[in-house]
Chain A
Amino acid sequence: MRALVIDDSRAMRAILRKILRGIGVDVTEAEHGRAALDVLRGATTFELALIDWNMPEMDGLQVVKAIRADRRLDAMRIMMVTTETEMGQVVRAVEAGASEYLMKPFNAAAVVEKLAILGLLETE
């Protein structure tokens, strides 16, 4: 499985990378939305994008919308990973096309369980 981690915080990318690699996921990183879209439109297929909300220039919600506007990326799952925790924000992300939602701070177990919900992992 291959995942793209999109977050402007280097520390947060490192945390997610460590957790994901720990369960055998190949991780690519992008530090902002535009870089992420470039990567996604390249040759490599990603099963999952983990997207921060608050990033300079293009925010995570815009990234979700851009991804969902691209038919070739239909199969890719999107998980918001964010400090935005108001119900209204959760709803906006889901309506824009996010498949799952993880609130910061989180622990490794929460990430693994989300992947299981997305059917991207065997739990037994």
Chain B
Amino acid sequence: MSVSPESFAHVCALVRRRSAIVLESGKEYLVDARLGPVAKDAGFASIDDLVAHVRRIEAGREHEELARSIVEAMTTTETSFFRDVHPFSILETKVLPELVQARARRRALRIWCAAASTGQEPFSVAMLLCEHFPQLASWDVRIFATDINRAVLDRARSGVFRQLEINRGLPVRMLVKYFDRRGLDWQIKPEIRRMVSFQELNLLERWPLFGRQDVVLMRNVLIYFDVPTKKQILGRVREVMAEDGVLFLGGTETTMNLEDSLVGERLAGPGVLFRAKGAAGRPGETKTG
């Protein structure tokens, strides 16, 4: 199925308006690959027919449902367990030990995975907490995992992963300890699944968060947005973060020239975390993007 230039333009506008995801020209092949199945499932002979229908009905439930399916199909949901390794070792060796100390009285931690996809990222955090901070079992710890895409959230909630996903970034020690075999698939154990709550959340809309966040992981999602949207979202991130909270972005993402109040902190080893300006950093650390 090959999308017409007119439908392509319409899909780009719709996806951008609803999710901020920018589809550059030249990405027609992506629209073909991703919307072909959507059109077919909804009973249309072509992507153009689907798009024409969505435009014609304009509003109402059917329009809403189809428009959302289009947006969801255009998201890139690639992820893996302990992706990039470093953010998780920084969490383990630096951020969490500091927070555990700083929150010793309140005994509460708020962690937000703001583009959680199929759950590998929040479950990696949950396994890490279980493995290295058993004392937190008696704390009020919330790992709030959100995404715009309802299909990935459903998969994440099930905690079921295919072999191809299990192969990606999950240390065998964690596999043995925290997963059960389910037919050909693997399911993460209930005690880990229980630590994470999944909810639909569009970063362009309201953020129904519980209090200030101690750790925000907003990784590999801003890359799809334009600069004004990145600025706007990072500004809002700063507002929902605790004063001494930290932010992790994807390996190619930064706050530099986007949100001056969030400052990159280069650590002894590889990897970067971001803190609110003026928040307690450690001496000898230099600023970086």
Contact = CB atoms under 8 A, between A and B. Distances in A.
Is the pairing of A and B real? yes
Contact of A87 (B82, B168, B181): B181
A35 B175 CA distance: 31
A69 interface: no
Contact of A102 (B86, B167, B181): B167
A38 interface: no
B84 A90 contact: no
Interface string B262-281: 00000000110000000000
Contacts of A105: 164
Contacts of B42: none
Nearest to B174: A117
B256 interface: no
Contacts of A122: 270
Interface in A91-116: 91, 94, 98-103, 105-107, 109-110, 113, 116
Interface residues on A, range: 20 to 34
Contacts of B172: 90, 94, 98-101
A106 B162 CA distance: 12
Nearest to A124: B270
A87 B184 CA distance: 11
Nearest to A100: B172
Contact of B80 (A87, A103, A106, A113): A113
B167 A110 contact: yes
A44 interface: no
B172 to A, nearest CB: 4
Given A110-B168, A113-B169, A123 B86 contact: yes
Interface in B230-283: 251, 270-271
What 8 A-B pairs are tightest by C-beta distance, nearest first?
Answer: A110-B167, A101-B172, A113-B169, A124-B270, A87-B181, A116-B85, A106-B167, A117-B171
Interface of B: 80, 82, 84-86, 163-164, 166-169, 171-173, 175-176, 179-181, 251, 270-271
Given A87-B180, A105-B164, A107-B164, 12 more contacts: A87-B181, A91-B176, A101-B175, A102-B167, A106-B164, A106-B167, A110-B164, A110-B167, A110-B169, A113-B169, A122-B270, A123-B86
